[in-house]
Structure 1
Amino acid sequence: MSDFAQRLAAVARDTEAALETILQAATDPAPPQRLIGAMRYAVLGGGKRLRPFLTVETARFTGGDAEAALRAGAAIELVHVYSLVHDDLPAMDDDELRRGKPTVHRAYDEATAILVGDALQTLAFETLGDPATHADAGIRAALVLALARAAGAAGMAGGQMLDLEAEGRFGDGLPLELSAGAIRQLQAMKTGAILACAVEMGAIIGGADAASRAALHAYGRALGAAFQVADDILDVESSADALGKATGKDAARGKGTLVSVLGLEAARAERDALADEAVAALAAFGPEADGLREAARFAAGRRS
């Protein structure tokens, strides 16, 4: 196992423990046990935890507190999982499998899945606002603002709406023929904004200066774009067993992706160029940023 793989796995284990602690604290005073059980089902025991890794790594080499970074990374993972729970609903992507097991609305029911997403989103912001995350209220406020912007109408939620519009969910019901530029914008909002935010939150905790923040922002945006193009390619090339979710969905729904617009080879070339762009954005940093460089290569080259 490479040094990067070991580090990613270590952060995933630490994130799992942090999420367990956060979810346990959420049971006092006791909420409905069905809701807590479904939240735990959705959150624990799955995922590579790439977003927390980006937060932890960025905070580490910019001089931030490790525990603050871990809790912030856990918060962004809660938002990510909430988005998956809601995306899987029949009203959205109508998926039956996520991370190799039945989706929340299949394991429980649709109403419970909606409430799980709602509760995970609010728990994320509760975590960031908690003094246990950082003693400095200004840092906590900056973390809340960054995640709110990335997850809202100008970020993830807005990107999901554009995605639904492109599928022809509204109006005449026909899929839209999006340009490559429109697809890139949609994906930058739906997927890229949260990935870039994970890096930004690490920089906030580390107190990075303006020049470093700008470089890290460029890195996060390029990495997020590479990740989504890789995801689109995997939907064509991989299997449900390898991905832990259904494949071939994009073409079946007439979804606009860079694979459908540019072709598979050109999409691969764009994925690799974006990974190189992310690495190049870190040129001002030394070996301390190698974890982020490897993360960009991992996002582009992953097989699941």
Structure 2
Amino acid sequence: MRRGKPSVHRAYSEPLAVLTGDSLIVLGFEVLAKAATIVPERGIKLVLSLAQHTGVAGGICAGQGWESEPEIDLSAYHRSKTGALFVAATQMGATAAAQDEEPWHELGGRIGEVFQVADDLCDALHDAGTPSEPAGQDNLHGRRNTVTELGVDGARKRRRDILVGAIASIPSCPGEASLAQMVRMQAEQIMPVINPALVLVEGVVVEGLLAGTGSSPKTSMFKRRSARSI
């Protein structure tokens, strides 16, 4: 399930899902190529930027590849995986507006890290029964993430710190305050809606068997289960 709907490979088969992904990547370059006929210099820069941030050397493909490594630098992994696409978005926006793209690099990278930390929290704290992405996938596949490294509170603090840095890094521009507000609002929207009966404690999910009155569960009513099971 993805955002409450069956994923493409579930709805239409894995071969069609792979072909759809490949086609959408090519379509992105097609759109830029058509735009390049209007302002060739900017169009070439946009195509190059998209290629660099999706390819192997420093793009999302490299980040995905790191998931197969036994040891990774978590922050660098986040920057290469999700961060690369957000850097592409911020820098390509600047290029399209005929502005210097370099000042927008940090903002994109930090937004990407915020998104990834929030995604790690969602993976750890979402109830498996909610209609969203599958829960507990990082634990299931043995992937390191912010929650396993820092704990829930540490991951939340990490997210807050990165968000503060992201907003501070916004270059001076028209609409700067509105952009800061938008970044803040989007960061809040991607935070997990947590089942109050689930709390992650030292890598183990504690499921509170809540009383019918809705009062706080007593310690004796807790049932522990591995995070791998959700």
Tell me if both proteins adopt one fold, taking TM over 0.5 as the criterion: yes
**Greater gyration radius:** 2
Structure 1: distance between partners of 2:42 and 2:7: 35
- The structure richer in strand per residue is 2
Per-residue deviation at 1:99?
2.4
Aligned to 1:101: 5
- The structure richer in helix per residue is 1
Aligned to 1:126: 30
Aligned to 1:259: 147
Is residue 2:28 matched to residue 1:135? no
Aligned to 1:270: 158
Give the partner amino acid of 1:201. M
Alignment deviations for residues 30-50 of structure 1 (CA, whole Å, 9 cap, x no partner): xxxxxxxxxxxxxxxxxxxxx
Work out whether residues 219 and 279 of structure 1, in 8 Å CA contact, stay in contact via their aligned partners in 2: yes
Is residue 2:119 matched to residue 1:231? yes
Structure 1: distance between partners of 2:187 and 2:157: 10
Structure 2: distance between partners of 1:134 and 1:276: 39
Q: What secondary structure does 1:189 align onto?
A: helix
Tell me the C-alpha RMSD between the 2 structures: 2.0
Structure 1: gaps (5+ residues): 1-96, 167-175
Aligned to 1:218: 106
Per-residue deviation at 1:272?
0.6
Structure 1: distance between partners of 2:115 and 2:24: 23
Aligned to 1:183: 74
Aligned to 2:98: 207
Aligned to 1:23: none
Structure 2: distance between partners of 1:259 and 1:300: 17
Give the partner amino acid of 2:99. A
Per-residue deviation at 1:200?
0.7
Q: What secondary structure does 1:298 align onto?
A: helix
Structure 2: distance between partners of 1:124 and 1:293: 27
Distance 1:145 1:156, change over 3 A: same
Q: TM-score, normalised by structure 1?
A: 0.58
Q: What secondary structure does 1:263 align onto?
A: helix
Structure 2: gaps (5+ residues): 193-230
Q: What secondary structure does 1:244 align onto?
A: coil
Give percent identity, aligned residues only. Answer: 34
Q: How many residues align?
A: 190
Work out whether residues 91 and 102 of structure 2, in 8 Å CA contact, stay in contact via their aligned partners in 1: no
Work out whether residues 54 and 60 of structure 2, in 8 Å CA contact, stay in contact via their aligned partners in 1: yes
Aligned ranges 1:3-14 → 2 under 5 Å:
none
Structure 1: distance between partners of 2:18 and 2:173: 44
Aligned to 2:49: 146
Q: What secondary structure does 1:215 align onto?
A: helix
Alignment deviations for residues 58-91 of structure 1 (CA, whole Å, 9 cap, x no partner): xxxxxxxxxxxxxxxxxxxxxxxxxxxxxxxxxx
Distance 1:111 1:139, change over 3 A: same
Give the partner amino acid of 1:146. S
Work out whether residues 258 and 267 of structure 1, in 8 Å CA contact, stay in contact via their aligned partners in 2: yes
Aligned to 2:198: none
Give the partner amino acid of 2:178. G
Q: What secondary structure does 1:124 align onto?
A: helix
Aligned ranges 1:1-304 → 2 under 5 Å:
97-131=1-35, 135-153=38-56, 154-163=58-67, 165-166=68-69, 176-178=70-72, 182-209=73-100, 213-239=101-127, 244-282=132-170, 284-285=171-172, 288-302=175-189, 303=191
Distance 1:243 1:278, change over 3 A: farther
Give the partner amino acid of 1:207. A
Structure 1: distance between partners of 2:180 and 2:91: 15
